[in-house]
Structure 1
Amino acid sequence: MSDFLPINQNDMKKRGWDELDFVLVSGDAYVDHPSFGHAIISRVLEKEGFKVGIIAQPDWTNVESFKVLGQPKYGFLVAPGNIDSMVNHYTVNKKKRRQDSYSPGGEAGKRPDRATIVYTSKIKQAYKGIPVIVGGIESSLRRLAHYDYWSNKVRHSILLDSKADLLIYGMGEYPIVQIANKLKQGKGIREITDVRGTVYATSKLPKDVVELPSFEEITGDKELFSRSFNIQHSNTDPYTGEVLAERDGSRWVVQNKPSFPISKEDFDSVYELPFTKTYHPIYKKSGGVPALNEVEFSIINNRGCFGSCSFCALTFHQGRIVTSRSEDSVMKEAKDLINKPGFKGYIHDVGGPTANFSGPACDKQAKSGSCKDRSCLGHNMCKNVKVDHSSYLKLLRKLRNLPGIKKVFIRSGIRFDYLLKDSDETFFKELVEHHISGQLKIAPEHISNRVLQVMGKPKHEVFESFISKYQQFNTSLGKKQFFVPYFISSHPGSTVEDAIKLAEYLKKLGFTPDQVQDFYPTPGTLSTAMYYSGYNPTSGKKIFVATDHSDKQAQRALLQFNRPENYVTVLKTLGKAGRQDLVGFGPKALIPPPSKNSKKRRTNSKLKISKC
C-alpha cells in the first residue's frame, strides 16, 4: 500500500519536503480513492512530479487552518467536494440535512455553505497574491451566471464571486496538468488563458468568441436567461463547442472550449495510480467516511453520458461522449479487490453514469463530436445511435468467472430504451440472470409522455415494454426478482393532472414509493433553467412550472396517496381537479371517502415493491 499524501508538516518532513508545489483544499474528508475528485487530481499531479498536500475540511472560521502546510510554490487548488455544498447541506425543502456521508462518521457541518467562495477567501487572507484555482462539481456547474435555488436569484459566475484566479470545469485531469506545467515554466496565473476546460476573467473581450447576453440582461429578462442557457448547453462538446464570453459589469467571464474526453489509455493510467483506496487513518476513531462504503468494492468502467436527461448535469460536466477503460485495466482492479481486506466476493457495481454505455453514441460523435441541435436518446432515439452491449457483456462474463468472485452486480443506472433497441437480447437475459441483487432499480421518472418529453426521457410505452420483457426473463429463468421504479414529482411541465395520472398508474401497479424525489433545481441543468425562467431552453416555448409550495406539496402527496398524513392534501387536490371519481372504495379509487376519522384513517400501504 502506498502512502497518503501529506496532511501536515510532519508528513512533509518524512518525505524530505520543505515546500509543496500545490496545496489542495477539500470540502470532503480525505479519501484516497478514485471516486473522490480530490484524490484523482492530487494523484495525477503527483505522477507528473509535483509535490502535493491535502487540507481536508479545514476550520473555515480560522485562517490558520489554511496555513498548516505552509505556502505552496505554485498555488492552492480548491475542490469543495463530490457534491455541491448547498445540495450537500439542504433538502429540496431547504431544510438542513442531518448527515453528510462525505464527512467522518457522517457528521454534518464540516464544511461551509458555498464552500468554494469561503475557502478561496480564507486562502487569500492567509497568503496575499497566491494563485487559487477552483474546480470540482460546484465550480463546474456555476462557471457562468446561474440560477441559485437557495437564494432564489441569478448569481454571478462563481469565478467572480470567489475572486479565484482560474476555474476548471468538467473533468480536470487534462487541464490541471497543463496549468501546473505552465506555472512551472514561469507563466503567471493570469496569463493562462488558452487551456481547454477553463474559465477566466478579463477586462477585454477576446476575439473569436460567442458573446452571451450579459449578466445584467439575463437578470432582468427570464426569456433571455433561458436563451443564454441554451447557447451554453449547445456548446458542451469539445469538437463543436465555441469559446463563450459573458459580460458582468466591467469584466468578461470567458469559458474556453471544453477539454477533450479522456482517452482509454489515460483513463486506465489514472485509475491505476497508487491510491490507497481508503480513508485517511485520522478518521478511524470516527468510524470512517460513509461515502466510501458505496464505492469501496465497486469499479468505475466508463465516463460521460449521451442520455441527455434534462434534470441531469452530466452533459454540462462530463459531456456526452462516453469513454470506457480497457478490459485489462478493469480486470486488474478486480483482482486487486479480491485481495482487499473486507472483500466478501461481491463486486457491488461495474459502471459509471450509465452502466450500459461503452463508447460514443454513433460514428459521427466518435469522429467529430455531438450534434448541437439534437439529443442522442431523449424522448425519441436518434436513428444513428449504435446499440452495442458486446464489450460490456464480455467484461462482465470475465469478471464473474474470476476465482474469488461470487457475484458482480450492476447498480449504476441502466438506460432501458437503449437496452431494448439491442436486437441481441443476450445482455438483457444475463443482466437478469447474474447481475441484479434481488431488485432492479429503474428510473422511468414519470408516465405522462408530455412530461417525459420535457425530461428528455423515453415514452412511457417504452418503459412498459421493458418491464414486460424483464418479467418474461425472470419467469423463464425461474427467478422472483422485483423492480423498483423511481419517479420525480413537480418537474417542470408536470401539472396536477399529470401527477394524478401518475398516482393512478401507481395504484394499478400496486406500488407505493418509500421515498419521492421532488424536483430539485440544481445548477447546470436544462430543468433548472426551465424552473427559473418558465421557458424550455431547447424549444423557446413557455412551460408550466409548479413553483408554489402548495402545488409542489400536492404533486408529492399524490405519489404517496395512501399515506395517512397525505389524506387531506390528496382529497383537496382531487376535489379541485374534478376527480372525485378517485375517491371511494372502488378498484380505481386512490383514497376512501372522508369520514369523522379521516385524519386518523389507516389505508393499506403494504405493497411497496413491484413483483415480477
Structure 2
Amino acid sequence: MSHHLPTTLEEARRRGWDTLDIILVSGDAYIDHPAFGVPLLGRWLEVHGFRVGIIPQPDWRSKEAFMALGRPRLFFGVSAGAMDSMVAHYTPQKKLRHDDAYTPGNRHGGRPNRASIIYTSRLKEAYKDVPVVLGGIETSLRRLAHYDFWEDKLRRSILLDAKADLLIYGMGERSLLELAKRLQSGESFSDIRDLRGSCFVGREVCEDCLSLPSWEQLAADKATFADAHRLMEQEQNPYCGQQLVQACGDRQVVCNPPSLPLSPKELDALYALPFSREPHPRYKEQIPAFEQIKCSITTHRGCFGGCSFCAITMHQGKVIQSRSATSVQQEVVRLVAKGWFKGQISDLGGPTANMYGLVCKAPDRGHNCRRPSCIYPAICPNLQCSDAPAVGMLRKIRSMPGVRQVVVSSGIRYDLLERQPDYFRELVAHHVGGLLKVAPEHLALKVTALMRKPDAAVFERFLARFRDESSKVGKRQGVVPYLMAGHPGCTVDTMVELALALRRLRLQVEQVQEFTPTPGTAASCMYYTGIDPANGKAVYVPRGDRERRIQKGLLLLHLPEEQARVRKGLQEMGRSDLLDRLDLSHTPGGTVRQQHRKYQHKRTPR
C-alpha cells in the first residue's frame, strides 16, 4: 500500500475511509515532500485526526475529475500550486512556455491559466453546497485588488472572481487547522469571520477596520493605487497589522491580520511528519521539480529583506521561523536512509540561507514594527545578526554519517555576511559547490534603491572578501551574480553602467532575469503606476520589448549574438554614444561556468 495520502476513492478505502473530511486540489503533481505546500498541509491535517485526500492536476475541462474522491465532509481546499499559474505559463515577454517543472515529463498544460478560479468553478459545478477555501501563493498575492501583468489591467480580489467561500493567505498551517477544528466542532462556515490569515466577502459595513480605497477608486486613479499599496504593506506585521477592508460595488473584501508565526517547536513538529519524500507511485515519468529538491532540506522560513520585486514576504512573512538543529539532523537521518541518496545534500537553507536563527532584539521583539525591510536602507540596530546557530548547524550536518557534502544553494544576503564572519568562512571553506549564487540584481544606485537592495560598494566588498577567503583555503571558486533587466528605474544608461561594472569586477553571467510584475509586490505597483509607493515620486518604467531586450543583452555582451543585437538596437535608439563606452571589441568570451571550468584542473589539492 502507498504511504501517500489518497488520490482516489480506492486508495482511501484501503485506509478504511469511506468518506474524507477535507479534499485538497492542487495544480502540481503530488510529491509527498515538505517542500511542497499542499502535501505539507495535507499531512498537517492528517496528523491532527482529519481524513485528507489530494486531487493533483485534475483535468479542468469537466467536473468529473474533481469528483475522484467524492464529497468531503468539511470543505475543499484549492491551490494553483507552488507558482502563480500565469507565471508558470508565460515568459516575461508573455510568450507561452513549453515546459512545467511541476508536471511529470516536464510538459506544459498540466494546469489551466488562473487555476484557482477554474478549479473553484468546477468544484462548485460538481458540489454546489460544499465550501471551497482558496490558498497558495497565487491567492496570497491576489487577495486584494492587484495589477495583472498578463491582462495589463487592475483586477479585483481573486476571492470575488473565483466565487470561493474563504481565502487563506500565507503558509496556512494555523489558519487551515483552526478552520477544520471549528467546523468539526459544529460551528457554521458562514460564522467564521475572525480567522487570522483569512479573507472573506461580506455586504455589511465593517467597523474597526482600516478601509482601503475601493476597487472603483483604485481603477480610476493610479496614485490612489500606490497609496493603497503602501498602506497594505505597512499592515503585514502579524502582531500589529489591522483588519483591512476593500469595497467592490456593494460588497466588501475583508482581510484579517496575518497568522502568527510558528514557534521552533511547532515548526519541528511540521517537518517531523511522515513524508515519503517521493512522488506518488501513479507517476511513471520524472518530475523536474522533485529532482531539484529531493535532497534539499529547509531550515527556516520567512525573509526580512523586503526586496520590492519579491513575493516571499507577502506569502511567508517577514519574521524568521527557524527549526531546531536537532529537527534538521533528524530529517537528515531520514534522507540518508533513502536508497537513492548519494551523500550530497543539495541545499540546506531557506528563502535566504544566512537568516537562519536571526531574531529581533527590540524590547517588543518587533511586534510594533512596520518597516518592510530589516536591512534596507541599513541594517536595523535591533536585528540580532549572530551567526552561531547557523555555523553550529552546518558543522553538525556535514559530520553526520552518510553525508558526504552539504551545499548551500539558497540565496545569500551578502550585506548580512559583513556581520557574520564565521558563517562566511564556513560557507567558503565547506559549502560552496564551486560557484556561489548571490543576487545583487543591479549595481546602479538609482535602481538598487528602488529594489531595496544594497549598493555596489557592499557587493564589491563581499566579492573581494569571497575571493580572498577562497584563496586562503586553497579553492578556486567563483560567484554567479543574479541580475535583472527591465525593473522599474532601469534605463539603458543604468544597464550600461552595470555592464561596465561587471567587466571591471571580472564577472560574467549565464542568464539574466527579466522583470515580471507579479501581483502584490511594490515593484509591480511601480510598473503599473509609474510611482514609487514609498514616497510618491515618479519612476521610469521600461515597457517596450525592444528596450527590454537591449537591457538584457547589455549584460550578455560576452556572447557574439548579443553584441550584434545590442549594437543594432542602440543605433536604432539613437544612442550610439554608448557603444564607445562599451568598447565591444575588448569583451571577453565565455560564460561564468565556462570560465570556472578553465581553472578546475588547477585547483589546489585538499
TM-score normalized with structure 2 length: 0.95
**What is the deviation of 1:361?**
4.1
Distance 1:570 1:19 in 2: 62
Shift of 1:607: 4.7
Instruction: State whether residues 19 and 73 of structure 1, in contact with CA within 8 Å, keep that contact through their aligned partners in structure 2.
Output: yes
| Counterparts of 2:530 and 2:578, CA distance in 1 | 31
State the Cα distance separating 1:371 from its structure 2 match. Answer: 2.1
- After superposition, give the CA deviation of every residue in 1:433-488 in whole Å (9 maximum; x if it has no partner): 10000111111111101211110101110000000110111111111111111110
Would the aligned equivalents of 1:321 and 1:359 in 2 still touch at CA under 8 Å? Answer: no
Partners of 1:58 and 1:66 within 8 A in 2:
yes
Aligned to 1:227: 227
Match of 1:250 in 2: 250
Question: What residue identity is the alignment partner of 2:56?
Answer: A
Q: Distance in 1 between the 2:465 and 2:578 partners?
A: 30
Aligned to 2:11: 11
Which whole-Å CA distance do the structure 2 matches of 1:607 and 1:42 have between them? 43
Q: 1:572 to 1:382 in 2, by over 3 A?
A: farther
Q: In the TM superposition, what are the counterparts of 1:567-582 in structure 2 within 5 Å?
A: 567-572=563-568, 574-575=570-571, 580=576
Provide structure 1 residue ranges, at least 5 long, that are not aligned to the other structure: 594-602
Does residue 130 in structure 1 map to residue 134 in structure 2? no
1:492-531 aligned within 5 A: 492-531=488-527
Per the TM alignment, residue 212 of structure 1 is displaced from its structure 2 partner at its CA by 0.1
CA–CA distance in structure 2, aligned partners of residues 564 and 354 of structure 1? 35
For the residues of structure 1 that align with 2:455 and 2:378, how far apart are their CA atoms? 8
In the alignment, which of 349, 361, 364 is matched to residue 363 of structure 1?
361
Give distance in 1, aligned partners of 2:576 and 2:78.
55
1:342-361 mapped onto 2 (5 Å cutoff): 342-361=340-359
Counterpart-to-counterpart distance in 1, 2:372 and 2:67:
49
Give the corresponding residue for 2:154: 154
For 1:412, the aligned partner's letter is S
What are the residue-to-residue correspondences of 1:13-162 with 2, within 5 Å?
A: 13-162=13-162
The 8 Å contact of residues 201 and 253 in structure 1, kept in 2 or not, is answered as yes
1:200 aligned onto 2:200: yes
Q: Which residue of 2 aligns with 1:406?
A: 404
Separation (CA, whole Å) in 1 of partners of 2:168 and 2:337: 36
Q: Distance in 2 between matches of 1:313 and 1:255?
A: 18
Write the deviation string for residues 55-102 of structure 1: whole angstroms up to 9, x where unpaired.
Answer: 111110021111111111111110110001111111111111111110
Q: Contact 2:360–2:366 at 8 Å: present in 1 too?
A: no
Letter in 2 for 1:436: V
Give how far 1:608 is off. 2.9
The aligned counterpart of 1:479 is 475
Q: 2:589 aligned with 1:605, yes or no?
A: yes
Q: 1:591 and 2:595 equivalent?
A: no
After TM superposition, give the deviation of residue 5 of structure 1 in Å.
Answer: 1.2
- Correspondent of 2:293 among 292, 295, 305: 295
CA deviation after TM superposition for structure 1 residue 129, in Å: 1.5
SS of 1:356's partner is helix
Equivalent position amino acid for 1:251 in 2: R
SS of equivalent residue, structure 1 residue 282: coil
Separation (CA, whole Å) in 2 of partners of 1:513 and 1:368: 38
SS in 2 for 1:281: coil
Query: What does 1:386-535 correspond to in 2, within 5 Å?
Result: 386-422=384-420, 425-535=421-531
Q: Indicate how the Cα distance of structure 1 residues 152 and 583 shifts in structure 2: closer, same or farther if over 3 A, else same.
A: closer
Contact 2:509/2:591 (8 A) holds in 1: no
Q: Which residue of 1 aligns with 2:603?
A: none
Alpha-carbon distance in 2 for matches of 1:572, 1:149: 28
> 1:57 and 1:261, CA in 2 relative to 1: closer, same or farther beyond 3 A?
same
- Distance apart, 1:516 and its partner CA: 1.1
CA distance in 2, matches of 1:7, 1:426: 47
Q: In the TM superposition, what is the alpha-carbon distance from 1:48 to its structure 2 partner? A: 1.3
Give the structure 2 partner of residue 600 of structure 1.
none
What pairs with 1:213-362 in structure 2 (closer than 5 Å)? 213-283=213-283, 285-286=284-285, 288-362=286-360
Letter paired with 1:495: T
Q: Percent identity?
A: 44
Tell me what 1:191 maps to.
191
CA RMSD in angstroms, aligned pairs only: 1.9
> Are 1:42 and 1:52, in contact at CA under 8 Å, matched by a contact in 2?
yes
Question: In structure 2, what is the Cα distance between the partners aligned to 1:55 and 1:375?
Answer: 38
Distance in structure 2 (CA, Å) of the matches to 1:345 and 1:168: 38
The secondary structure found in structure 2 opposite 1:367 is coil
Aligned to 1:598: none
State the alpha-carbon separation in 2 of the partners of residues 365 and 237 from structure 1: 16
CA contact (8 A) 1:320 1:370 kept: no
Unaligned runs of 5+ in 2: 600-606
Q: Whole-Å Cα distance in 2 between the matches of residues 128 and 177 of structure 1? A: 23
SS of the residue 1:12 aligns to: helix
Deviates more, 1:543-552 or 1:42-51: 543-552
Tell me the SS of whatever aligns to 1:330: helix
Q: Deviations over 1:249-272 (max 9, x none)?
A: 110000000000111111000100
TM-score, normalization: structure 1? Answer: 0.94
Distance 1:365 1:513 in 2: 43
Q: Deviations over 1:573-605 (max 9, x none)?
A: 545788656546xxx644249xxxxxxxxx752
Moved more, 29-38 or 575-584: 575-584
How far did 1:217 drift? 0.4
